[in-house]
Amino acid sequence: MLKSSIKTSLAIICCTLLLCCSNNDNSITPDESGEETPEQGETPTEETPQENNEEVVESDLGTVTYFNKALAEDHYILVNDAMNNHVYLMDKNGDLVYEWPLGDRKIGNDVVLLEDGTLLAALQAEGPDILFGGFGGKIQIIDKEGNALWDFTYSNSNHRLHHDVELLPNGNVLGIAWEKMTQEEALASGSKHNTDLYPESILEINPTTDEIVWEWHAKDHLIQDFDDTKLNFGEVAANPQLIDLNYVNAENGNIMHINGLGYDAINDLIFLSVNFYSEVWILDHSTTTEVAASHSGGNFGRGGDLVYRFGNPSAYGDDDSERMFVNNHYPNLFEPGKMLIFTNGGDLGQSTVYELGLPNALTQESIPTLTSPEILWSFTDTELYSPKVSGAVRLPNGNTLITEGDYGIWEVTTEGEVVWKFSGDGFFWRSYHYAKDHPGIIALDL
């Protein structure tokens, strides 16, 4: 457990190590294991040894350790366990409150509880042709009894939904999808990879009509400095609003691996966690689909080009500025102008949670300067490390609920004190806080 007196020093050390990991040739090779679920029965990381003042509670779901029970938030936690294909609510003693009957359906990654008591779930489609980790292809809205109230499949040899979903205020759903660029199309676009590529797209789907009402495609916003005879040739460092097609060395064509969505309803912005670029990308959602394919228009005047990006300056040719992320998950916009994000840490063997203050320019529909957002708070620990999945949620009492994907869940205070932990035999995509009087909880009539 970190004490507040050393937290700042350790954060500085971690940031220095992250910078050292920056690849100076602007090209990285990702961990191609991506987000694949561990095999059944894989043993999770051992939890921190007990201290004399710990209160340990054993349950059917796992082991709860209270380090300071008086400071822990009393609430329910929605757990997405991809290894065991379970979605359930538990209390802080690790007792099962409710589990949804999924039948033969398999969760993709994200599942959230809506205010009417239904689940919005990313699920695995049958027989997928695109086999990267972060399985999906299907979105459903599921009632308490497990019935699918809405079922949308987007999975074939040319595209596949994956990882995360986000409910918009208008009732539509945002999803992430890989889409195929043939080898010929990729080479014509300036790719240095002699293979098919699978860049990302973002879709907005109307659940009433199943219509895709808005879409953005990364392939419309590329740059490359590899081949001056091909499309998209230009200076990467001079065009940070564009995406370097050749930044990642990926033999299987999975070059971006977006794993998380966030939506800023006030400023109509979409936040994307781009794992293989170790960045967050921000898109202007005020555009039409046609404008989103262009380089001008919309509230920010950039069409579908990136409004802002942060986490890894080397991804746009800046090898001198400090790097913040080595892989990242869950761009959680928990209140206006503030984000929590989990950086996995890669070869550092240690993860970090950041609370970031976003640039004020985003609220003024202007383009921020390309500097890192302000670090308002951070937490790391020698025992906190998950190379995949994971995330963080801010609780009403000010504590932060951290999901360590291959271990379980932590609760820590703003001073960095660990007050509660849960460890279980699972692989945990994310964990979400729900107050006991949340409308979705009340609607379940438990």
Q: What tokens appear for 326 in the block? A: 């080595």
End-to-end Cα spacing for the chain? 36
Looking at residue 40, its pLDDT comes to: 37
* pLDDT digit string, tens, across residues 66-125: 999 999 999 999 999 999 999 999 999 999 999 999 999 999 999 999 999 999 999 999
Which residue is listed with tokens 């329910």? 76
Read off the pLDDT band of 134 (50, 70, 90): confident
Is the pLDDT reported for residue 401 higher than 80? yes
pLDDT at 174 over 80: yes
User: What pairs with residue 173 in β-bridges?
Assistant: 167, 205
Per-residue pLDDT tens over the stretch 251-307: 999 999 999 999 999 999 999 999 999 999 999 999 999 999 999 999 999 999 999
Strand partners, 392: 402
- Chain-wide mean pLDDT for the chain? 91
Per the model's pLDDT, the better-predicted residue between 20 and 141 turns out to be 141
pLDDT of residue 30: 63
Which of these, 241, 252, 298, lies nearest to 276 by C-alpha position?
Answer: 252
Closest among 109, 189, 122 to 153, alpha carbons compared: 122
Residues 345 and 215: their CA atoms lie apart, in Å, by 31
Query: What is the structure's pLDDT at 133?
Result: 87
Residue 374 has a pLDDT of: 97
Please report the pLDDT score of residue 135 as a whole number. Answer: 84
| Full DSSP string of 47-91 | PPPP-TT-EEEE-SS-EEEESSGGGS---EEEEEETTTTEEEEE-
Query: What type of residue is 393?
Result: V
DSSP labels, 387-427: SSS-EEEE-TTS-EEEEETTTEEEEE-TT--EEEEEE-SS-
**Whether residue 212 has pLDDT greater than 80:** yes
